[in-house]
Structure 1
Amino acid sequence: MEPISIQPWGPEHSPEQLTSLLHRAYATLAAQGWNFTAANQSVEVTRQRIAQGQTWVAQRAGEWVGTVQVRGPKPADENYLLDPAPALYTQAGTAILSQLAVHPDCRGQGLAERLMDAAEAWAKAQGFQRVALDTALPAQALRARYQRRGYVEQGQLQWTGKTYASVLMCKALNDKEAA
């Protein structure tokens, strides 16, 4: 089996190909009734998200098999989805992780961990003190994955139009912040 490489987004990459990967990776969550944005987002939404931060893509034998995106805090007046951004997402020093996706054929191989390592390392190198994310409250396996990595639940919210409640989670990137 060919090795999987992870690389930062570049001009040679295709938003259409990334959107297709997101749709495949999130299909299992959509089948459970959870309408994550990445399950059916348009190529234009993919382009907007790419422009807002740093994206990584994982490839094996020329096929895209994983991705993750991370960005800095949102301005207080910027919406997230259709709602005002939660305070955690607007705090200085906070990076926001999103669109973690692994192709179904590559799950269970540690790729999600490698992608999160890349995103967290980038955030730390940029001087961010913490990484925040949100996920579906009923998605126990996803929440457990993040908790194993040191993410702590920070509250719950209901995004407009989502079929599930979400949980906000945050991880300190240095010992001083964790204390």
Structure 2
Amino acid sequence: MTSVIRAGRQDEIGQIMELIARCVKVMQDSGSDQWDESYPNREVIAQDLERGTLYVCEEDGAVTGIIVLDENQAEEYGTIHWKQNKGPNLIMHRLAVHPEVQGKGLARRLIAFAEEYAAHSGYASIRLDSYTKNASALRLYNSLGYDRRGEVNFPGKTASFPVFEKVLAAAE
């Protein structure tokens, strides 16, 4: 199986939205309301693609995973005591792996890509939030050396969002 991580293309929005829909179903079936029909929606993904911040993992011509990398921090991040305040900081959003290929290390590959991208682009740290009810993601970030810095709450969600930071070696 040949796979590559690269910038997503506008003509892939249908595949990306199908991947998200499948992930939403799995999340909701397991009791998580992290994502739903309203987020992440087609408009959000179209903006990510337009800005060139959405990356896809493509395997044999199919989009099997996505990640968004930009500098857009949620307003709620202002309450967090970050370890690296000098910046710039890369923010990781909307990490998703197609349910048919979950558990095969693809999320780890996408995160490794983000870390390499951040290091080569001069970022001091990577920040992200996950969801209290997403136990597998929380375990993954902990296992990859992401430091839990606190929690934020987003309107309309029933649980909090732990926030994580990984200071990059060059910034230490």
TM-score scaled by length of structure 2: 0.84
Paired residue for 1:158? 153
Contact 1:57–1:67 (CA<8 Å) still a contact in 2?
yes
Contact 1:22–1:38 (CA<8 Å) still a contact in 2?
no
| Count of matched residue positions in the alignment of Structure 1 and Structure 2 | 166
- 1:136-147 → structure 2 map (5 Å cutoff): 136-147=131-142
Paired residue for 1:41? 40
The structure-2 alpha-carbon separation of the partners of 1:166 and 1:122, relative to structure 1 and needing over 3 Å to count, comes to same
User: Shift of the alpha carbon at 1:156?
Assistant: 1.0
Q: 1:31-79 CA distances to partner (integer Å, 9 max, x unpaired)?
A: 23322247653211111233456221112222211111111244xxxxx
User: Shift of the alpha carbon at 1:93?
Assistant: 1.6
Structure 1 unaligned residues grouped into runs of 5+: 75-79
Question: Root-mean-square deviation (CA), in Å?
Answer: 2.3
Paired residue for 1:171? 166
- Find the residue that maps to 2:130 and give its secondary structure: strand
- Find the residue that maps to 1:95 and give its secondary structure: strand
Q: RCO (CA 8 Å, sep 6+): is it higher in 1 or 2?
A: 2
**Cα distance between partner residues in 1 of 2:35 and 2:49:** 14
User: Shift of the alpha carbon at 1:116?
Assistant: 0.9
**Cα distance between partner residues in 1 of 2:115 and 2:133:** 24
The percent identity for this pair of structures is: 24
User: Shift of the alpha carbon at 1:98?
Assistant: 1.1
Q: Does 1:128 align with 2:127?
A: no
Paired residue for 1:24? 22
Residue type of the alignment partner of 1:14: E
**Cα distance between partner residues in 1 of 2:149 and 2:169:** 18
**Cα distance between partner residues in 2 of 1:99 and 1:73:** 12
Q: 1:127-164 CA distances to partner (integer Å, 9 max, x unpaired)?
A: 11100110112322211100111101111121101122
- Find the residue that maps to 1:65 and give its secondary structure: strand
Residue type of the alignment partner of 2:54: T
**Cα distance between partner residues in 2 of 1:49 and 1:31:** 27
The structure-2 alpha-carbon separation of the partners of 1:29 and 1:114, relative to structure 1 and needing over 3 Å to count, comes to same
